[in-house]
Amino acid sequence: MAARVKVGGWLQGKTVRKGGPASTTTTRSSTPQLQSTSSTVFGGGVKDASGRTSEYFSMDDQCPVCKSDRYLNPKLRLLVSACYHKMCESCIDRLFTLGPAPCPICNKVLRKLAFTPQTFEDLGVEKEVAVRRRIAKEFNKRREDFHDLRSYNDYLEEVEDITFNLIHDIDVAQTEARIKAYRAENAALIELNIQREEAYAQALKEQEGAERRERELRAMELRREEEEEREEREKGKREIIDKLETSDANAAKVIAKSRANALKRSSARAASTTVSHSNLLKSRAAQSTAIPDVPHVPLQDDWYAYEDLYGLRSGGYNDFMSEAVRKDREGIMRAGGFRVEEAWERALRSAVAALDLLPLSGANPNAAPTFKLDAGGDVVMASANG
Amino acid sequence: MSSSTIEAAPSASPIPKRPLYESSTQFRNWRFSPEQLSELRSSLNAAAVAVIRNTLENEKPGSSSVVSFLNAEEEYLLVKLYITKITQLCGLFRFPEDVEATAVSYLKRFYLKNTVMDWHPKNVMLTALFLATKTTNNVISLETYTAHIPNTAPSDVLDLEFLVAQSLGFEFAVWHSHRALWGIILDMQNLPDCPPDIRPIYESALTHLRASRLTDAELIYTPSQIALAAVSLAAPELASQWSMSKFRSDAVESAEQLPGVIESIKALITSAGHPPDIEAVREVDRRLKLCKNPEKIVGSHAYLMKKEQEEKKALAKRSKKADETKQAIKNGDPFGNVLEHESRGLVDYDDDDDEED
């Protein structure tokens, strides 16, 4: 129990920053209260994509202190204390409005501000998340801070050990001392890593912002183009009408001429916009890191099967070797899928295969893969991989 | 032969392709120059003679001086005789050409890795043929196989099977020249001068091709070249016409050299493509009985000695392993404790959980 009380030092949420309006509204169960409580240190408070914490909510909720449940009070809202016990808002009001008071379940001294909304059904998870969040803030060394993998692994194991002790309330005093010692030892490094992380987050944010701006820019350009095009059309129409009014030339000719002009203008505009588009694409491509996109080839067939040296004769062959098989209409002699053309093709390929491959010569032909001319004027071939 | 040389793939393709034949193990591992072959055989023979001489001396000092060992040519003569036996057996069993050619290739390749003095070709031949029936998908049961061969037990065939397969490097696929011959005969029908009945040419070429199996041709030349040489022996004019029609315009050099290659194959077939003289082989076989590696003869003194030695070695190995295991179990962890000897990391802290126990 003594250990528990000491734990309270960090669990009591002394760093709570409370929003102005929240101070007046926390007591009323009807008003939304998320804004203040989600910023406390010790709650699970896992934020969703929009940056809000989603509260755990169930039909079977019941306040363990006053035993009122959701059936009796549909607006029942349970909050979690620093010692991870649930209480409904009216109980919190009743017990803690007059200052710090002991928890009705475990007698630990609690304050009204240190209640957080519940994120997880299991309060053990709630606690673990809070502890891990706190530990991660200080134990933020990276692999680069260690000269070998072994010491990094030892460090990770130590962190895990401390976390485990805090979660399960084992030797809390000693563990806190360890954390303190670590903090004192590594203050500079912790600060540095925090800065690094901030810089990284900042860079991410900037990148996102740049992309968003670019998208907006493109959308704007598109809108502008459409506008221009419409104006152009309007102008063309007006022009035709004007001309028809003023000149006495052939009506059909006038229309054809102005149409041709409009077409020329629009094609010129299209060309200019495509250029800007391609520039945009290029700049985007330059921004992203260059990863070579090698097309996937499923079958690496780099063998030459002498296809150009033979051709299967369309009329078939006068072949006494396969006569019996070809005459056999019922297929008694054939295996399933046998086609005499395939047997012929194999024979033809083997007839021309490596016909021009010269034999090796000399006692050690593999040593020198070059041409040599011998006395008879014949080229003597040797092979690198024969 | 790399594709950058005259055998380059069609120049139209962006990446030079490698000819298909060069993907075969036959090209990569079983292609030699004539000089290489004789060098290989004589060095193999010399090594075997040294080993056997040593064994004989160990058994009975001075006994090796009276033995006349076989030389490489005599060994090859014996192998050649057993190649003819494969042909006889294939006739007996009515095996297709594939089996015969494959078995012959296996036998030749086997004796490029082993010597006759270690393994007598009689049994190796039987094993090679049996293996060839299996690798060419003409399966026959072992009982039927041995029942038709006098004085042969199934164990004679099976005992050597792994050894043979291992010596072949488990490279069972062979490109055969008789298939190339079939292809040439088919493709020749496109020539204007082709006679209406090509069968006599085929049969005559086939006899030459079979004769080439008694030579080293398949270890030096490619199957298509051997087949073309066989056709050339049967119908020289037609063969040269066909070979001229088979060259790309960009491969002039090789077109010029092919006739020379074909001529050398033809010379090889006519000079060496006949069965050896039975009397000469009988003489070799008689001498082989005296100079066989005694360690490989079942029941001989040296064989028993060798077995005993191997047993001893295996026993020592087993007991060593048992000792190591026992030691490890005694130390507490049967999988050893390597991590304990390593230094702890820089950050050291007392583990609360360990203090109680």
- Which candidate, A61, A36, A56, places its Cα nearest to that of A46? A56
Residues 6+ apart with CB under 8 A from A78: A61, A63, A86, A87, A88, A89, A118
DSSP H/E element including B54:
helix B34-59
Query: Which residues of B are less than 8 Å from A153 in CB distance?
Result: 345
Bridge-based pairing state of the strands A101-102 and A86-88: unpaired
Show the tokens assigned to A222: 């598109």
Contact A350 B224 (CB under 8 A): yes
What is the DSSP code (8-state) at residue A62?
B
CA distance B83 to chain A (A): 23
List the Cα angle A52/A58/A59 in 5-degree steps: 140
What is the structure's pLDDT at A45?
A: 61
What is the structure's pLDDT at A218?
A: 95
Q: What is the pLDDT of residues B275-295, one digit of tens each?
A: 999 999 999 999 888 888 777
Average pLDDT over every residue of A173-180: 90
Mean pLDDT of chain B: 85
Asked whether the domain spanning B176-272 has the same topology as the one spanning B67-174, the reply is yes
Most confident of A291-300, A313-322, B205-214: B205-214
Given a cut of 90, whether residue A47 has pLDDT beyond it is no
Amino acid type, A188? A
More confident: A102 or A259: A102
**Chain B contact for A362, CB < 8 A?**
yes
Tell which of B20, B178, B266 to mutate to test the A interface (max A CBs under 10 Å).
Answer: B20
What is the structure's pLDDT at A54?
A: 75
- Which candidate, B167, B127, B217, places its Cα nearest to that of B44? B167
CA distance B140 to chain A (A): 18
Average pLDDT over every residue of A366-381: 39
Q: Searching chain A, which residue's CA lies closest to the CA of residue B251?
A: A356
Q: What is the pLDDT of residues A234-244, one digit of tens each?
A: 998 898 888 88
Q: Where are the alpha helices (DSSP H) in chain A?
A: 2-11, 20-25, 34-37, 89-96, 123-138, 149-167, 172-185, 187-246, 251-287, 323-327, 340-352
What are the residue boundaries of the structural domains of chain A, listed by start? 2-132, 139-185, 191-276, 357-386
More confident: B8 or B106: B106
Q: Searching chain A, which residue's CA lies closest to the CA of residue B350?
A: A158
Mean pLDDT lowest for which of A376-380, B120-124, B143-147? A376-380
Given a cut of 60, whether residue A35 has pLDDT beyond it is no
Given a cut of 60, whether residue A6 has pLDDT beyond it is no
Contact A363 B39 (CB under 8 A): yes
Assign a CATH topology to domain B176-272. Cyclin A; domain 1 (1.10.472)
Given a cut of 80, whether residue A44 has pLDDT beyond it is no
Mean pLDDT lowest for which of A139-148, A358-367, B14-23, B251-260? A358-367
Query: Which residues of B are less than 8 Å from A317 in CB distance?
Result: 186, 189
Q: Searching chain B, which residue's CA lies closest to the CA of residue A300?
A: B17
CA distance B261 to chain A (A): 7
Calpha distance B18→A180 (Å, rounded): 69
- Which candidate, B99, B97, B112, places its Cα nearest to that of B30? B112
A residues 90-129 lying closer than 8 A (beta carbon) to B: none
Q: Coil, strand, or helix at residue B172?
A: coil
Query: Which residues of A are less than 8 Å from B258 in CB distance?
Result: 355-356
Given a cut of 70, whether residue B246 has pLDDT beyond it is yes
Contact B28 A363 (CB under 8 A): no
Given a cut of 70, whether residue A299 has pLDDT beyond it is yes
Q: Searching chain A, which residue's CA lies closest to the CA of residue B260?
A: A378
Domain formed by B67-174, architecture: Orthogonal Bundle (1.10)
Calpha distance B99→A153 (Å, rounded): 63
The region that residue B347 occupies, defined by phi over 0 for left and psi between -120 and 50 for alpha, beta otherwise, is beta
What are the residue boundaries of the structural domains of chain B, listed by start? 67-174, 176-272
Q: What is the pLDDT of residues A326-336, one digit of tens each?
A: 888 777 777 77
Q: What is the pLDDT of residues B22-73, one digit of tens each?
A: 999 999 999 999 999 999 999 999 999 998 888 888 877 777 777 888 889 9
What is the structure's pLDDT at A27?
A: 41
Given a cut of 60, whether residue B8 has pLDDT beyond it is no
Banded model confidence at residue A19, pLDDT cuts 50, 70, 90: very low
Phi first, then psi, for residue A102 (nearest 5°) are -70, 150
Mean pLDDT of chain A: 77
Calpha distance A133→A127 (Å, rounded): 10
What is the C-alpha R_g of chain A? 42
What is the structure's pLDDT at A206?
A: 94
CATH superfamily of A2-132: Zinc/RING finger domain, C3HC4 (zinc finger) (3.30.40.10)
Residues 6+ apart with CB under 8 A from B93: B140, B145, B148
CA distance B355 to chain A (A): 13
Q: Searching chain B, which residue's CA lies closest to the CA of residue A319?
A: B186
**Chain B contact for A223, CB < 8 A?**
no
What is the structure's pLDDT at A49?
A: 63
More confident: B221 or A363: B221
- Which candidate, B289, B295, B286, B288, places its Cα nearest to that of B59? B295
Q: Searching chain B, which residue's CA lies closest to the CA of residue A376?
A: B260
Residue B56 in contact with residue B67, Cβ under 8 Å? yes
Bridge-based pairing state of the strands A109-110 and A372-373: unpaired
- Tokens 């060992």, residue located: B69
CA distance A175 to chain B (A): 10
CA distance A43 to chain B (A): 28
Q: What is the pLDDT of residues A183-232, one digit of tens each?
A: 888 888 888 888 988 999 999 999 999 999 999 999 999 999 999 999 99
Given a cut of 50, whether residue A31 has pLDDT beyond it is no
What is the structure's pLDDT at A280?
A: 57
What is the DSSP code (8-state) at residue B222?
-
State ipTM: 0.78
Average pLDDT over every residue of B86-95: 94
More confident: A367 or B174: B174
Given a cut of 80, whether residue B349 has pLDDT beyond it is no
Amino acid type, A249? A
More confident: A121 or A248: A121
CB contacts < 8 A, A to B, total 174
